[in-house]
Structure 1
């Protein structure tokens, strides 16, 4: 019998929302190797997003950037990362996390072309090089990606950035979240398999309740429900927001909960008619001011973005 590429959490959400057939038709897109056409795309990326898990089992989302060539694909089953070519802060939790848990999930995204590709696998260190054995890889549709380009100044000394941490979101953190039109989310299933994805919408699409809980609409997508399936099984989740004007990166960790059947006229409008949201309650955050220095040019918002009220 063919092994299902979906775990029980993903299957549960697909059943709950009546999308089993749609998801099943797409299962062949998930493969244990990188598709040949995506190899040059991956190797041209100088900014990537990656999820990792700390010693407590909490997923974190990180952004790594560096010189062209810091990332190589070896025979479609293995990725090589050269830490010496990475320019992002070496203090990032990613580097600590992979010392205790080898499971990681990559998101490669090019905003100019609205192209994104995910690779999940296991990382090991060999002679100073990070080697990632591919477990699964697959592409995503271009929906909700804002078209634009980020040009980084890699002469910037990211290790001199100003880092602050906390457990309760403060004014600066709330402001960044409330202005954002994009964030990145890392999650895992109960067996530890990591995944990193993208969420986008119009400015302010993530709303914040009076107690600091983030309310995130789940828009229509590919019906695989990788992120929601992970949350169903394992609520601990990591988010990452970026402020291109200041080079600030905000990493949040906490617990998420899926909300179904939110079918008021307003809720249907802001969720793109799905009536599905997820709440995120922050337990810890890391605010890194000067994480990067770059110039962001926004071309156009995604035409698929639902309204924000």
Structure 2
């Protein structure tokens, strides 16, 4: 029985990579493999994808210190940290437990994805019952080291939901080299994924539309497969210098055929994704780290 749903299969068939996808699909496990537990319990960065009552998707940042993730058994993890109570995922999980997690180590360019059902066991503890877990390749992860700081001790400020980007936010996105995307497939099963490239790889059209390239990846097409059947998506940007986040929610469309002019604007793109936003939330003083950029991924198209 395939681990892929019909949206993923549609994309794989269109691109002609079904055999490769089936091979890569063997990596997707229903339990946490041996060795993953050690990695997970050493990490401080988790991005979580969730769905709100209006079926909009959100990607949210969870931070803490090594040990905040506890692997209770091969089917269960718990996250213990000080959650940002204003974040959309807090209320989302209370009515829809489907979540996707990506746990990422920027310095060593390692990422693990976990999909499952989540619930709060208390204000500072989130339990996730694992349904899928798998690693991804290191492509397009920019190398950054992190050190704890007292930045989070500043007053946490959230803009509340806005409809459009401000000029400053649009420039933030143009300068970005990393973002995370939340998507959802059949039965509301939710996924979080990482995207990276050299600064400028995302283009901002007006104050409500982004266009970004889809580079050659692991051939599973989890995100594009979700978009194929459910355009609702969420995007998270991290400001590594200022310790703030930008969360967007909206709808995505896959641009399958790209012109020569677009290939010049998006070198290395296999396809494009156009994202039209419905809402924007900016949060200040939310990340308790200082970051040092060690280098860009050698896989990034120049």
TM norm structure 1: 0.92
How many residue pairs match? The answer is 300
Please give the root-mean-square deviation of Cα atoms over the aligned residues, in Å: 1.7
Shift of 1:168: 1.0
Hey, what does 1:11 align to over in structure 2?
Answer: 9
Task: Give the alignment of 1:24-35 within 5 angstroms.
Answer: 24-35=22-33
Residues 1:273 and 1:135: Cα distance change in structure 2 (over 3 Å): same
Question: Could you list the per-position Cα deviations for residues 22-60 of structure 1 after superposition, in whole angstroms to 9, with x for gaps in the alignment?
Answer: 111111100101111111100111121111111111110
Match of 2:56 among 39, 55, 58: 58
Shift of 1:266: 4.7
Shift of 1:256: 0.2
Match of 1:95 among 90, 95, 116: 90
Hey, what does 1:184 align to over in structure 2?
Answer: 180
Question: In 2, are the aligned partners of 1:271 and 1:277 still within 8 Å (CA)?
Answer: no
Question: In 1, are the aligned partners of 2:116 and 2:129 still within 8 Å (CA)?
Answer: yes
Match of 1:123 among 101, 118, 127: 118
Report which stretch shifted further, 208-217 or 27-36.
208-217
The answer on 1:110 being equivalent to 2:105 is yes
**How many Å separate the matches in 2 of 1:29 and 1:156?**
37
Match of 1:203 among 189, 199, 211: 199
Hey, what does 1:250 align to over in structure 2?
Answer: 246
Question: In 2, are the aligned partners of 1:51 and 1:62 still within 8 Å (CA)?
Answer: yes
Report which stretch shifted further, 132-141 or 145-154.
145-154
Hey, what does 1:287 align to over in structure 2?
Answer: 282
TM norm structure 2: 0.94
Question: In 2, are the aligned partners of 1:246 and 1:293 still within 8 Å (CA)?
Answer: no
Residues 1:217 and 1:135: Cα distance change in structure 2 (over 3 Å): same
**How many Å separate the matches in 2 of 1:268 and 1:20?**
29
**How many Å separate the matches in 2 of 1:225 and 1:149?**
29
Question: In 2, are the aligned partners of 1:269 and 1:306 still within 8 Å (CA)?
Answer: no
Hey, what does 1:68 align to over in structure 2?
Answer: 66
Query: Structure 2: where are the runs of 5+ without partners?
Result: none
Q: Secondary structure at the match of 2:152?
A: coil
Q: Secondary structure at the match of 1:26?
A: helix
The answer on 1:219 being equivalent to 2:210 is no
Query: Structure 1: where are the runs of 5+ without partners?
Result: none
Question: In 2, are the aligned partners of 1:184 and 1:239 still within 8 Å (CA)?
Answer: yes
